[in-house]
Amino acid sequence: MTDTIKLYPAKPAKVYFYGTCLVDLFYPDAGLAGVQLLEREGIDVLFPQDQTCCGQPAFSSGFNDQARDVVVPQLDLFPGDWPIVVPAGSCGGMMRKHYPELFAGTPWQAKAEALASRVFELTDFLLNVCHIRLEDRGEPVRVAMHTSCSARREMGVGDIGPTLLAQLQQVEVVEQARATECCGFGGTFAVRHPEVSEAMVADKTTAIEEAGADTFLATDCGCMMNIAGYAEKQQRSLKGQHIASFLWQRVGGDA
Amino acid sequence: MSTDTAHSDVQQFHPRVRSALENPQIRSNFRSAMDGLMGKRQAAFEDWELETLRDLGAAVRLRALSRLPELLVQLETNCQLQGIRVHWAETGDQACEIIRDICKARDARRVIKGKSMVSEEMELNHFLEAEGIEALESDLGEYIVQLAEETPSHIIMPAIHKNTDEISDLMHEKTGTERSRDVGYLTASARQQLRDKFMQADVGISGVNFAVAETGTLCLVENEGNGRLTTTVPPCHIAVTGIEKVVEHLEDVAPLLALLTRSATGQHITTYFNMISGPRKADEKDGPEEVHLVLVDSGRSSIYQDQELLDTLRCIRCGACMNHCPVYARVGGHAYGTTYPGPIGKILMPHLLGLENTRDLPSASTLCGACGEVCPVRIPIPKLLQRLRKESVDGDRLRPSVVPGHGVKRTLKEQASWNGYRWLASDPGRYRLAGWMMTRFRALTPRNVGPWTRYRTAPRPAAKTLHQLMAARRREEQS
Ligand code: SF4
């Protein structure tokens, strides 16, 4: 009954990269950094141009028909038997955990299940498949880490970010209060229940600031948009960065 | 914030949330209490045993539910063999009437109550009072809530929304107790007042934590001894419970009890654990003359019809899901306007009251998964929330669904926006074009996008999409 144990493949020659719509439209540098980190490991990264959105917004609002219609054409975008790497725990969780549910009992079930089993969250893939080694080329810096709830609880990668950051000698990761608590994003939750969402993101922002960091790293752009957007609206100095962008910069990649 | 009759104003979720969030006392009372409870739970489980116990707990509950109808019959037979009279109630109202009739037959005027969430669910106290029967709560938290004429804000700690000062003021005003910050003093004073009531009570009413089918044993978990007094001192004891509380064997109780107390309050064991197996026997010196068991359905058998929703009935009412819920910790129990607040309330109440009366509950979650992660019987709460969201918007209202009020949130506007999303995201060419337009005209991005920008800045489209960047890289490679 406990979650099935994740099996990691040997480091492949190629991977597919699923950028996610949020990264695509708002934070492409995070996606590009992810691609470059994978290439740095000697992996050939394939980016199917016909990818759009993973369907999660509709799915988590209860509109499964719409979600399926968005996903179906994309099920054929990854024909080779390569892993599919996603720079987001929540879209990764949608693909890995929820596609089998969404397509259960439909003609696409087998295809969806096969795809789901090949999906990996980016940092997990870098650490546990690529066994990445990072040499820190940056200045000393203090950061906080915010792992999304779906990265932590759906993808089970809660301790990967901190483990990767521990390889960087000049980076100090501060301990924040209630680090595992949700930032209040929750997709449409933030607009359906704006007041509760605000109360949550306010606490998260304060916890990070009080820990003594003026930059936080996120596994997911949704959380980042929420926390950094809140700090900006409040004219606070806290900045957010996707962990892929940060890692790429630290190893000397161009931003 | 008084939510006197919880059901009537269940629709007012947003206003109640706002007023709770604006109340610093409520915010800090809940936050500190929940932090404490989370810490205690964590300390109570050895790492190695937690997941194993949860597997066991889930298996025990699943096994019991898979045989629920026959176990209930077995429970009835075994209870009757020991002299416990068993009553079946389809609705909460029927259960109230059954209890009233038992009281009337004994000419009972005074009832003392142990903690029972099912009795809250059916609003038993109001019902009895209207019938001229006094019902006094004897659990300290319930006693405080009753003095304040409120409803519980937490299923394990009903008065958790009040701090010591508030309780002291309340007791002073209602019972003349001297004001004090000494919890021991306040408790002793309440105990003094309750002692006499136990002696005078004609009937004791309690809940049930586990009902063992094989032996006809009713188990009651408590810390204050009020449960034992309620079930032994008055000449008549009425136990009332939902039909899902049944387990197969006596051995099944051990893992569930271990999980319940650790998950709820971080205790390895409670001060009292009562196993009730019938009225006083001829050679016994104490105990009630009469014991009744009222089994309440109230929507549960309809949940039982659905293979997925059935998991809702595994619940052992430990409260861990609310203790760990970031929404509950901020708005508190009364904001939900339902008997059961927090994550379990969100997955249970739509069945009891209908989605039309609980329309804001399934969406009031970020699906962060903290509840599912701690639930001792592994109820997949986020998955069930998702299911109820689907039920809320599921088209055809004429199609029978086990969830009352299904389709109630399917508005044209909501539908239109998701159809728009589908139109855009199901066609790669269209999607790329939209991305290109967004980046091209990024200067025109609206600054104000509804509730999002009330508290945050709007995200700005990038100069180039990842699609564009990757396509450009391809072209470079090829040239
Ligand atoms: S749903 Fe699980 S965590 Fe919540 S009260 Fe029930 S048993 Fe406890």
CATH number of the domain to which B238 belongs: 3.40.50.10420
Which of the listed residues B253, B279, B302 is the one where a domain comes to its end? B302
Count of CB contacts below 8 A, A vs B? Answer: 190
Cα–Cα distance, B122 to B111 (Å, whole number): 16
Q: Chain A contacts of B452, Cβ < 8 Å?
A: 190-191, 194, 229
Cα–Cα distance, B246 to B219 (Å, whole number): 10
Instruction: Report the number of distinct structural domains present in chain B.
Output: 2
Nearest-atom number in ligand 1 for the CA of B371 is 3
Task: Compute the average pLDDT of residues A215-228.
Answer: 97
pLDDT of residue B6: 42
Which among A186, A225, A230 has the least Cβ separation from residue B366? Answer: A186
Q: Chain A contacts of B372, Cβ < 8 Å?
A: 153
The dihedral region occupied by A45, where left means phi > 0, alpha psi between -120 and 50, and beta the remainder, is beta
Domain membership of residue B204 as a residue range: 56-302
Which of the listed residues B272, B302, B332 is the one where a domain comes to its end? B302
Instruction: Judge if A14-128 and A133-250 fold alike in CATH terms.
Output: yes
On whether residue B439 sits in a domain, the answer given is: yes
For residues B391 and B397, which has the higher predicted lDDT (pLDDT)? B391
Quick one: what percent of chain B has pLDDT higher than 90?
A: 87
Q: How many CA atoms lie within 13 A of A143 on its CB side?
A: 27
Note whether A233 contacts B456, CB cutoff 8 Å.
yes
Question: How many angstroms separate the first and last alpha carbons of chain A?
Answer: 44
B417 plus B297 within the same structural domain: no
Encode pLDDT of A76-116 as tens digits: 999 999 999 999 999 999 999 999 999 999 999 999 999 99
Note whether A189 contacts B51, CB cutoff 8 Å.
no
| Side chain identity at residue A246, one-letter code | F
Nearest-atom number in ligand 1 for the CA of B263 is 8
Q: Does residue B396 surpass a pLDDT of 70?
A: no
May I ask the CATH architecture of the domain A14-128?
3-Layer(aba) Sandwich (3.40)
Q: Chain B contacts of A49, Cβ < 8 Å?
A: 428, 432, 467, 470-471
Provide the pLDDT confidence category of residue B479 given band limits of 50, 70 and 90. confident
B282 plus B416 within the same structural domain: no
Provide the pLDDT confidence category of residue B4 given band limits of 50, 70 and 90. very low
Cα–Cα distance, B291 to B276 (Å, whole number): 9
Residue nearest to atom 2 of ligand 1 (CA): B375
On whether residue B42 sits in a domain, the answer given is: no
Q: CB-based contacts of B370: which residues, under 8 Å, 6+ apart?
A: A149, A153, A180, A181, A182, B324, B325, B326
Pocket of ligand 1 (CB under 6 A): B 263, 315-321, 343-344, 375-377, 379
pLDDT of residue B399: 61
Q: Is A2 exposed, middle or buried (0-12, 13-18, 19+ CB in 10 A)?
A: exposed
Task: Compute the average pLDDT of residues B453-476.
Answer: 94
Tell me the helix, strand and coil percentages in chain A, rounded to 5: 45, 10, 40
B298 plus B441 within the same structural domain: no
Q: CB-based contacts of B419: which residues, under 8 Å, 6+ apart?
A: A66
B290 plus B428 within the same structural domain: no
On whether residue B29 sits in a domain, the answer given is: no
Q: Which residues of B398-432 are buried (b: 16+ CB within 10 A; e: fewer)?
A: eeeebbbbbbbbbeeeeeebbeebbebbbbbeebb
Residue nearest to atom 7 of ligand 1 (CA): B315
Which of the listed residues B279, B302, B325 is the one where a domain comes to its end? B302
pLDDT of residue B394: 81
What is the least distance, in Å, from the CA of A170 to any CA of chain B? Answer: 30
Beta strands A141-146 and A119-121, pairing class: unpaired
Nearest-atom number in ligand 1 for the CA of B317 is 5
Q: Does residue A2 surpass a pLDDT of 80?
A: no
Question: Could you tell me which CATH number the domain at A133-250 has?
Answer: 3.40.50.1860
φ/ψ (deg, to 5) at B194: -75, -30
Note whether A196 contacts B471, CB cutoff 8 Å.
no
Domain boundaries, chain A: 14-128, 133-250
Provide the pLDDT confidence category of residue A255 given band limits of 50, 70 and 90. low
Two structure tokens written together for B129: 């009072």
Task: Compute the average pLDDT of residues B412-423.
Answer: 94
| Side chain identity at residue B255, one-letter code | P
Distances (CA, A) of B437 to A57, B30, B419, B440: 21, 47, 20, 5
Note whether A25 contacts B465, CB cutoff 8 Å.
yes
Are B395 and B412 in contact by the 8 Å Cβ rule? The answer is no
The model carries a pTM of 0.95
Cα–Cα distance, B339 to B124 (Å, whole number): 12
B145 plus B280 within the same structural domain: yes
Two structure tokens written together for B131: 């019938």
